[in-house]
Structure formats: C-alpha cells, structure tokens
Structure 1
C-alpha cells in the first residue's frame, strides 16, 4: 500500500469510530449503557452465589454419566454470563412495554450479543487444543459482536484494504482470514471424520491389523490433504503456483529429511508386508514389549515395567527383530535346573513335567518336556521346556512361577538341588601362621 492510501485508510477508520461513539453519547443511549452495566454487576453477584450452590449440589451427584457432569460443570463456570443475558432480556421486555422501542434497542442488541457469547462458550468446547480454543473463542466473539452491531461490512472493507500486491497477485488480510477460517473448519471436519472412520475400521475383524492401520493412514492423509487444498481453492488462491513452489521445496527438503522420509517409507512397508502389527510382542536389542501403535514415523512399544519406547520404523526394517507372535501366539520357554546324583533321573523328569503343568499359564495341549542335558561337577543338569500363548502377560513372571512350582514339587518328593561346596583340610604337620601388622 502507498503511504497516501494508508493515511486515507486511517482517517476514514477514525471518522467511522468517532461517528459511532457520538451516536452512543446520546442521552437515552447513555441510560441504556448505565442499565447494562448495572445488570452486569448484578449478574456477577448472583452468578457467584448460584455457582457456589450449584457446585455443592454437583458434589452430591453419584452415578451420573460423565457427559452430564461435564455439561453441568460447563454451565456452572459460565453462570454469570447466563445470568447477565437473562437480566438483559428481562430489562428489555420491561422497557419495551413501558417506553418507546427506540429507548430500549441498545439493550436488546447487547442482550443478543451476550446470548451469542454464551452459545459460543459451548461451541468452542469442541476444540480440544487449549490455545486454539482460546483463539476460536475470541474470533467468534468478535464476529457475533460485529454482526449484531452491524459492523461486518465495515470490518470486511477495512481488512480488504490491508493488502499486499505482487504483479497480478493480491493478498489481503480479509482473504487470509477467510482462508484460515475455511481451512480450519474443513480440517476440523476431516479430523472428526477420520476419527469416526478409524474407529469403525479398527472394529472390523475381517481386515488384518496391519492393513487396518494402512487404511487408516491413507484415509487421514486423503482427508487432511483435501481439506487443505479445498480450503485454499475456496477463497480464490491459485494452486498452480503453489504446485510449482511445492515441487521446488520438495527437492530441497528431500536431501535434508532423508531419515524422516526413510521412516515414512519403512512404515508403509511394515504395514504392507504384515511383519509387525499392533498387539505383537517383539524384542529389539534390550527392548522387550508389545506394540501399541504403528505411527507414520515410529512404533510405540510398551514394556512390562510401563516404559514406552518410540522405535523409528527404519530400525524395525533394518534391525534384527524377534516377533514372538508373528504367525501364531505360541511361545516356547526353556528353564535349566540340576539335581543331586543320588536322585532318580526318571522320577525327576516326571516330577518336573507335572510341576510345569500345574502352572496356570503353561499349556497342557502342548505338554512340557524335560531332558537331561549333561552331567555337571555337582549335579545332573536338565532342561524343562513348556509353551504359553500369552506373551503379553510377561515371560519372567511365568518362568518364576514354574521355578517355584519345581521347588515345591522337589521338596515334597525329597529331591535335592545341589550347590557347589568346598571342603578345606589341614594336613598333618601343617602350622597356621598369622602375620601381624606392625
């Protein structure tokens, strides 16, 4: 904008604001403003009293659904605004009956504005992000205020006059604001639709878990991409130049974001080859746990101690991964133990197998087996093998249960578990010499 245009714009805006203020300074308008301020003070007082009583009443509620409690809490926080709107409407109805309509129109406008503000408070609760919710709240408050006071045309003209031009391209503040609003609405709609679609796809047992995640990711990319480009196109942006620009930017980012792109491609490969899927129990290095989610860049793995590891998808492709539940849920575990040479090996093997069967998580359809693996210095060494189908329940704890069952069974049957013993003999004629410390 030229300096002269900026000066003319500021002068025109100042004249409009001055004319609006002069209209408010009329006697009956001042009376209505005073009445509005009195109702505001009364609403704050009454709202605090009612809020305290309502809070005590809500504490006594039990067994109510969460959505009802949240709704009551939202109303309780906005009671002063609700009371103010009710008081303004009551005052307007009384003034409209006892005096001329022109002497109560300002009260009616403010009552409509406050009522709209109260409705906005519940609409913005659909926005999850706190900072974004605050921005949407102030934007809607400004919109409804300008709408009821008849200032939308003036605001649109003012924003449209603030613009930058590059040849035939003109970008105004009004166009930018429309783009943000339209794109924001479309993205919100896309998020809600993607969430509902994801829920339904995850409930479909006819589709494999990895294919479900792939479909969900594809739906999300399609919806968000369509929302962005449709939003830009709806407000008149030329997408041809944007395509050229995005191509140039893509070439530059391709070199700097090789790892990110590698993780994205690896994530798609994992979903396509079904090597890993949500719910699988895997081991990667020292990390053992089950997969919660497969993201676009990483996989979320939760261990038995509650830690959540974010493993890049590239590591799952290039590294050696042990998938305990890839083709089926059967997992075989081995434990080693030894008994004294004086115990019958046949009896030991039978007792060990029965002890393993007594553990709840050990399968009896694939019965445990026990074999001698060697004759040690102090014991006969055995291996006990058994199967489970719930590796997500942990491996260390089921091994511990089997060891404890072996201990009880051996104690009940007189089987001894030897341990290394050392015997010191003092030869005849030897003399114990103690070295003192000076």
Structure 2
C-alpha cells in the first residue's frame, strides 16, 4: 500500500485553490455577465488611474496650503494622496455595485461585490497600519491582514485555518501550530499598538497638567508604559498556549542573576525611581556634574540625558546623580549669582570704580536689577592693582553662563575706558648687577 505524499487537508486546500483559479480563468474567457463584471472592474481601474493623474497635483497644493493643521492630519493627507487611485477605484466600484444591485439580478454583480470588499479592506488596512511605527512589524501586520481579508472575501478562511492548524509542533503537553502563532502575532501587534497609543494619550494629558510636577509626570508615564507593555507581552505569551504559572519556578534563578550580573542595571533603575520620587532633578533643570554643565533633556529608566551648550548630549547613569555631588542651578528657583573678579590701578578712586562697575552690569541684558541688583566690593590690595569682585544675578542659567560673563566683562571694559579707569598689568624692571661696571670700562677703552 502506497503512502500518501501530502496530508488530506493539504490536498483538499490545493484542490480548492486550483478550482478557484480555473473558475476565474473560465469566467474571463467565457462571454456573459461574469466576463462583463471583469471588464467593468478593469474599466474602473483605468478611470481611477486617470482621475489620479488629473487631481494629484491639486490635492498636493491644497494640502501644502493647510498651515494651521496639526502634523498627524497632514501625515494622513499625505497617505491619502499616495492612495488616490485606490480611493477613486473603491468609491467607483461601490457606486457601480449599488446601482447593479438595484437594476439587475444580484448574481450579476457578485464579482464586483467581492472586489469592492477586497479593495475597501486593503485601503482600511493600509491606513490603519500607519499607526504601527516599527517598519518590520507594520509590514508583517499589513500582509497578514491583507491575506486574511482576501481569504475572507473568497470564503476560504475555514479551509486555510484547518490547513494551518495541521502544521503544528508537539512539545510535551504544549501543541503549537502555525495558526496559533499567527493569531498570537496579530493579537500581540494589536496590543502593542494599543499600548503605544495609550502611553501617548497619557503623556499628552499629563503634559498640560500644571498641578503635577515634571518629575511626577515622567514617573506616571513610565509606570503606565511598563504596565501596558507588560500586559501586552503576558497576553501574547498566554495566546501562544504557554502556562504562565511555570514562570514562578524561574524567579529564584532570575533573582540570583540580578544579584550578581545586573547590579549596576538594577542600581540605575532604583536610582531613577528615587530621582523621580524625591524630585531632586527634573526636565529643564540646569545642573553641573564634574566637568559637565547643561540642562536636563529627559529622564530615562537607566540614565539622564544632559544637553550642554555646545550641543553634546551626555547620558549620565542615574546612580551617579545619587552618589555624586550634583549642582542643580534651578532646583528650588532659577536665581543664580555669578561673580566676576577684576582689578584697577591704585590711582583710580575705588568709590568711582565700584559705581561705574555696578552701572555697567545693570545695562547688560539678562542681569537682574530687581530685587537683587548688582554689587561690587573690594576684596584685596594686590601687587599691581586694587582687586574687586562684581556680583550679579540671573534667572536663565539654561541660556549659558560663559556668554553672560563675557558680556559683563565687555561692559566693564567700555565703561572703564569711557571714565578713564585703567586696568593694570604686572610690570617688572630688570637691572644687571655684578660685572656691569667692568664691562662698561672695557667698552670705553676700546
């Protein structure tokens, strides 16, 4: 007795597909209403393509003129413009299908109805798939839904499901089939998209809430993100047929692994939670850590992003912000005092120097004149000059410290020059002693 080469389900599916293909060929070559429907569909395709050529440039110009529209709406218009031919075809074929359903027998528009359903499904899937940002995941989801919509329109879903269910792997009590894997993948993709949309909605709602501090906003957003993505992963694993109760056996091994191999990672995670809870730093704060001076751009689970004035972005581990000395220039308030040291000649009146220095600092932008105006004090008598310190306050350290210091120094230079105040520099007199008289006598003898 000869063994069958293919399982009965596979042979049945191939036979059905072959029958559908032969039926389609028969409809094309045989005159009648089936052939007429195919000709109508081809004519609508040509008409949709011509309409796209006529209106594509107008739609593009109209979209560019929408200056006040949000970005998501403009992106949607771009996607619609790329699919103008498909939209025109879908609209036209539904109109033709509706008219033919009213004026003739329903069987004479059966093929048109199938094609209309397929085109509409393809269009909806193409638009909704743009919600998935990951390109690979978007392609997998798009092709899977397109195939399912095609099989549904051709009434082949049950046959294909039976065939995919036969392609299975048995591991102990777990039976994993291709059908189960496809369903789990689709479910996981949908849950991931829903989790991302939920996280974005939470972020938008919290961003405009002034009653919540920036650090608490980040903490709530991170908590919602972990919760939603964690639920999506658990549901996806459960959809594959895995028993989640068995994961409890791995908790001890995971704990040992965390204790030895992931100390730094866990330390940074815990430090990040502490930073968010105690609100010691928050997005927008200006900090100094060692040689790094910049403002907090974002708070991550493992690191903090600090952007400096020269455009460099430093990713500082959260643990360093907990264990090291951090200067937060805007922790309780944004008032920052800066000191400038300079010296003038002993021949200049110190009272006049202080007055001129204070007035020069007041005329510089960003320097506060109220409630803490600039002050100037004598701090010592040096070898070549009288030493002063000029102290002034600003409220925008994120705009830079070096530039405001430079502007105040330039203001001092101009003010001193206008008022005849000199800035001395060290001078030295060199006298040659010892053999100098003997050398002079020898030159006179010659």
The one-character-per-residue Cα deviations of 1:245-275 (angstroms, maximum 9, x if unpaired) are 4654564465443332222122112223332
Which residue, out of 259, 262, 267, partners 2:264? 259
Matching residue of 2:355:
350
In structure 1, distance between residues paired with 2:57 and 2:312: 42
Measure how far apart 1:416 and its partner are: 1.0
Asked if 1:65 is matched to 2:85, the reply is no
Aligned residues: 430
Give 1:342-421 correspondences, 5 Å limit. 342-364=347-369, 365-421=371-427
Report the CA distance shift for 1:57/1:189 in structure 2 as closer, same or farther (over 3 A): closer
TM-score (structure 1 length as normaliser): 0.87
Asked if the contact 2:309–2:400 (Cα under 8 Å) also holds between the matched residues in 1, the reply is yes
Q: Aligned residue for 1:318? A: 323
Question: 1:333 is paired with a residue of what secondary structure?
Answer: strand
Match of 2:21 in 1: 21
Contact 1:281 1:323 in 2 (8 A): yes
8 Å contact from structure 2 (residues 141, 186) kept in 1: no
Between the aligned partners of 2:44 and 2:60, the Cα distance in structure 1 is 23
> CA shift at 1:332, angstroms?
1.6
Q: Are 1:12 and 2:30 matched, yes or no?
A: no
Answer whether contact 2:141 2:189 (CA < 8 A) is retained: no
Q: Aligned runs of 1:32-431 on 2, under 5 Å?
A: 32-59=37-64, 61=65, 63-66=67-70, 68-93=73-98, 96=101, 100-233=105-238, 236-245=241-250, 248-249=253-254, 251-252=256-257, 255-364=260-369, 365-421=371-427
Deviates more, 1:336-345 or 1:10-19: 10-19
Aligned partners of 1:64 and 1:198: how far apart in 2?
23
SS for the counterpart of 1:25 is helix
RMSD over aligned CA atoms reads: 3.1
CA 211–30 in structure 1, closer or farther in 2 if over 3 Å, else same: same
2:137/2:189 contact within 8 Å kept: no
Cα gap change, 1:221/1:398 in structure 2, threshold over 3 Å: closer, same or farther? same
Cα–Cα, structure 1 residues 383 and 116, in superposed 2: closer, same or farther, change >3 Å? Answer: same
Q: Deviations over 1:214-257 (max 9, x none)?
A: 23222222222223223444565421123434654564465443
Change over 3 Å in CA distance of 1:430–1:311 after alignment to 2: farther
| Secondary structure, aligned partner of 2:15 | helix
Listed as ranges, the gaps of 5+ residues in structure 1 are: 434-438
The change in CA–CA distance for 1:349 and 1:270 in structure 2 (over 3 A counts) is: same
Tell me the alpha carbon deviations over residues 196-216 of structure 1, each in whole angstroms, 9 at most, x when there is no partner: 223333433333333332232
Distance 1:249 1:408, change over 3 A: same
Relative distance call for 1:327 and 1:72 in structure 2 (3 A) is closer
| Distance across 2 between alignment mates of 1:117 and 1:343 | 85
Query: Hey, what's the Cα distance between the residues in 2 that align with 1:311 and 1:111?
Result: 56
Distance 1:120 1:314, change over 3 A: same
Indicate if the aligned counterparts of 2:51 and 2:88 stay in contact, CA closer than 8 A.
yes
1:69–1:274 Cα change, 3 Å: closer
The superposition leaves residues 335-393 of structure 1 with CA deviations (integer Å, 9 ceiling, x where unpaired) of 11111111011221222223223333223322333222333332222111222222112
Secondary structure of the structure 2 residue equivalent to 1:104: helix
Aligned partner of 1:436 in structure 2 is none
CA contact 2:118–2:149 (8 Å) conserved in 1: yes
